[in-house]
RNA sequence: CGGUUUGUAGCUCAGUAGGUAGAGCAGCUGACUCUUAAUCAGCGGGUCCAGGGUUCGAUCCCCUGCAAACCGACCA
């Protein structure tokens, strides 16, 4: 990178780095640093146990400095939080040589640098627990200035809030916004709670293919890729359901997977192209059992995370205490529209949609129509956790027919805060029925539904060997985390949400510029003047102005290059 | 994919009824031995997102593009 491309502050930091080197200080030492204490532990335990804090060693990033002559306060942040340092010149420089304080600490160190300190803990006159530094070591120099966020009495100043920068440079977000790390720690706690819950019951965590020849198990548009050696298309999985059920066929009693799924669809506040779903399948169970299992799991997640089942989500207070209300889908529609659609055919359902003001198109079958009615008129009403049960058969091709009504399936979705959180079935294990359902999907596909499922013949073959009655459940981990951490957007619970690529200015290589006669040392100057492509330079009409601009940059940046003549400059671009 | 809004210093934001720009923090120089948004004095820092157009002149007006946010469409 050429120096003309750097900001003033970046140049100063690079200069500081060189000065450190001249002083014999390696700003990126290889040695381990013997950390003995963390910020949060010290703040919590110092008063009760002063003796154990007479010699502490900790490391972290400088987040702020208040220099007062020969004594200073600094704030460093480690993985557990922030703590204040008290640095006195004559303590870190006991001898005549005061360079470490006067030059290194005061001038060559910056906010953002990572340092290690040794010293003892004490409480300042204003009552803040701090580390009195006796020894200071540079562990890594920061060359880019951080956004400086300050806080006073709970109010934040100059907060780093631009979502684009926060997501693109999550590392910066994590450094300066303390609450961000909490959200991600909670996400992992949620996953750990679930994993423990399953393992305690003896279910096995497994891994299944992400690259699939047939993207099955859900209705969605997949990402497609290509395998060179096999010369076949492969799809990134949209679900792992069909593979997990093959494992139940194979004899496992319970299997689960925290799976990244990929769907080639829109992106917004609640959708990322890749997202995480936990799916679990348990043999010899049905969806009624799974409802109890699910509510026990969700309640436990809330309890372990918050110590209570009551969680604030936006302006709503949601109580995850079980049991949750159970409402059939047709019952829900009846309740919120006053219309009993049971037994209606496709035509009648189209009429109902029209009456309710719901847009439809001819490609929609019965299942999709009912789904639309529910989505438009009912879904948003279920704020407290509610199981919606017994979905129409057309919209659940992998689900067992309802034991009491062949029009319906043994399926439930868990609704929370007006949105679907989990989805579960008594799994369809009749291979003949399954093949017919796949064929129905084919017909939908031919009718224009581009999300209809493919036929997975190997999956049918597996069922033909016999799968025990099984119940399966899938739950969106990103959305569960959003609920449990009170975040409004999925980007806040993904470390690196998908973003459009950053646009890079097109640049010609240096050789392209030297080829038209520009001396190599002048190429950065030409770039600084705003010409990254030779073509743009050749389009310049006012060569006098260009000449003056270039000489001006030379002078302003004290580059000390002998200026070219007007004729030289004209010669470059008039070819 | 459609509508609305936004893009100005490292960060957060002003601003110019069209005459190439300001503040706070951060930075630099100096003062200061318990400060905490430290304080005080001084200084520097900007292709005002990119490309076209109108104009004597555009950061501002118009068009196109890029990126983001919000609201819709689609979906989990």
Å from A159 (CA) to B3 (C1')? 30
- Cα angle A385-A379-A498, degrees, rounded to a multiple of 5: 90
Å from A7 (CA) to B9 (C1')? 10
Contacting residues 296-355/A vs strand B (CB within 7 A): none
| DSSP-based three-state secondary structure for A425 | strand
CB A290 within 8 A of CB A471: yes
Residues of chain A above pLDDT 90, percent: 64
Q: What's the pLDDT at A503?
A: 62
Q: What's the pLDDT at A506?
A: 60
Q: What's the pLDDT at A557?
A: 65
Cα–Cα distances in angstroms (integers) from residue A279 to residues A216, A422, A471, A499, in the given order = 14, 10, 11, 27
Q: What's the pLDDT at A364?
A: 77
Cβ-proximal residues to A265 (8 Å cutoff; 6+ apart), any chain = A220, A221, A271, A273
Convert the pLDDT of each residue in A108-139 to its tens digit: 999 999 999 999 999 999 999 999 999 999 99
* Residue A166: nearest nucleotide (C-alpha to C1'): B68
Model confidence at A1, pLDDT cuts 50, 70, 90, reads very low
DSSP characters for A244-277?
A: HHHHHHTT-SEEEEEEEEE--S--BTTB-SEEEE
CB atoms under 10 Å from CB of A355, counted, come to 10
Model confidence at A3, pLDDT cuts 50, 70, 90, reads low
Mean pLDDT across A330-345 = 89
Give the whole-angstrom CA distance, residue A509 versus residue A525.
14
Q: What's the pLDDT at A144?
A: 93
In terms of DSSP H, where are the helices of A251-377? 287-306, 329-337, 346-356, 366-377
The token pair at A284 is 């010899």
Q: Does residue A194 or residue A446 have the better pLDDT?
A: A194
Convert the pLDDT of each residue in A132-159 to its tens digit: 999 999 999 999 999 999 988 888 888 8
Contacting residues 138-177/A vs strand B (CB within 7 A): 145-152, 157-165, 167
Give the whole-angstrom CA distance, residue A111 versus residue A66.
11
* The pLDDT of residue A192 is above 90: yes
Model confidence at A501, pLDDT cuts 50, 70, 90, reads confident
What are the beta bridge partners of residue A74?
A65, A85
């Amino acid at each position: 990178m050429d120096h003309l491309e750097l900001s003033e502050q970046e140049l100063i930091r690079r200069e500081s780095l060189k000065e450190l080197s001249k002083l014999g200080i390696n700003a990126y030492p290889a040695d381990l640093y013997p950390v003995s204490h963390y910020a949060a532990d010290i703040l919590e335990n110092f008063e009760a146990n002063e003796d154990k804090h007479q010699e502490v060693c900790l490391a972290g990033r400088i987040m702020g400095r208040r220099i007062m002559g020969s004594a200073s306060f600094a704030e460093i942040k480690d993985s557990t939080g922030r703590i204040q340092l008290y640095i006195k010149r004559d303590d870190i420089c006991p001898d005549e040589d005061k360079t470490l304080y006067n030059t290194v600490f005061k001038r060559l160190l910056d906010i953002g640098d990572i340092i290690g300190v040794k010293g003892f803990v004490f409480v300042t006159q204003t009552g803040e627990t701090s580390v009195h530094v006796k020894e200071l070591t540079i562990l890594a120099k920061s060359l880019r200035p951080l956004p400086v966020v300050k806080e006073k009495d709970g109010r934040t100043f100059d907060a780093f809030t631009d979502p684009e920068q926060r997501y693109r440079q999550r590392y910066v977000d994590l450094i300066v916004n303390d609450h961000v790390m909490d959200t991600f720690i909670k996400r992992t706690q949620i996953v750990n709670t679930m994993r423990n819950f399953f393992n305690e019951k003896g279910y096995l965590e497994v891994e299944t293919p992400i690259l699939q020849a047939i993207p099955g198990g859900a209705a969605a548009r997949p990402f497609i890729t290509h395998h060179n050696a096999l010369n076949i298309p492969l799809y990134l999985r949209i679900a792992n359901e069909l593979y997990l059920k093959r494992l139940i066929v194979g004899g496992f009693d319970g299997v689960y997977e925290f799976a990244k799924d990929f769907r080639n669809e829109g992106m917004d506040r609640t959708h990322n192209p890749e997202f995480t779903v936990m799916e679990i399948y348990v043999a010899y169970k049905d969806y009624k059992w799974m409802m109890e299992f699910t509510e026990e799991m969700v309640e436990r997640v809330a309890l372990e995370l918050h110590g209570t089942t009551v969680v604030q989500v936006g302006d709503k207070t949601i109580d995850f205490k079980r049991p949750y209300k159970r409402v059939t889908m047709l019952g829900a529609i009846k309740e919120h529209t006053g219309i009993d659609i049971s037994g209606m055919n496709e035509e009648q359902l189209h009429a109902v949609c029209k009456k309710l003001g719901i847009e439809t198109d001819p490609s929609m079958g019965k299942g999709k129509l009912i789904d639309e009615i529910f989505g438009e008129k009912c879904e948003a009403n279920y704020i407290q956790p509610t199981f919606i049960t017994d979905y129409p058969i057309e919209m659940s091709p992998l689900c067992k027919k309802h034991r009491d009504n062949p029009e319906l399936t043994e399926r439930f979705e868990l609704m929370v805060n007006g949105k679907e959180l989990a989805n579960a079935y008594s799994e369809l294990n009749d291979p003949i029925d399954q093949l017919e359902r796949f064929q129905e999907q084919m017909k939908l596909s031919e009718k224009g539904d581009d999300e209809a499922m493919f036929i997975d013949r190997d999956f049918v073959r597996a069922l033909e060997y016999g799968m025990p009655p099984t119940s399966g459940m899938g739950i969106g981990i990103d959305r569960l985390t959003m609920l449990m951490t009170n975040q409004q957007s999925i980007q806040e619970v993904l470390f690196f949400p998908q973003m459009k690529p950053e646009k890079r200015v097109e640049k010609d290589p240096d050789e392209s510029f030297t080829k038209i006669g520009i001396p190599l040392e002048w190429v950065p100057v030409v770039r600084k003047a705003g010409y990254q492509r030779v073509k743009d330079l050749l389009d310049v009409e006012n060569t006098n102005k260009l000449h003056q601009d270039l000489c001006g940059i030379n002078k302003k940046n004290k580059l000390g290059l002998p200026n070219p003549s007007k004729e030289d400059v004209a010669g470059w671009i008039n070819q």
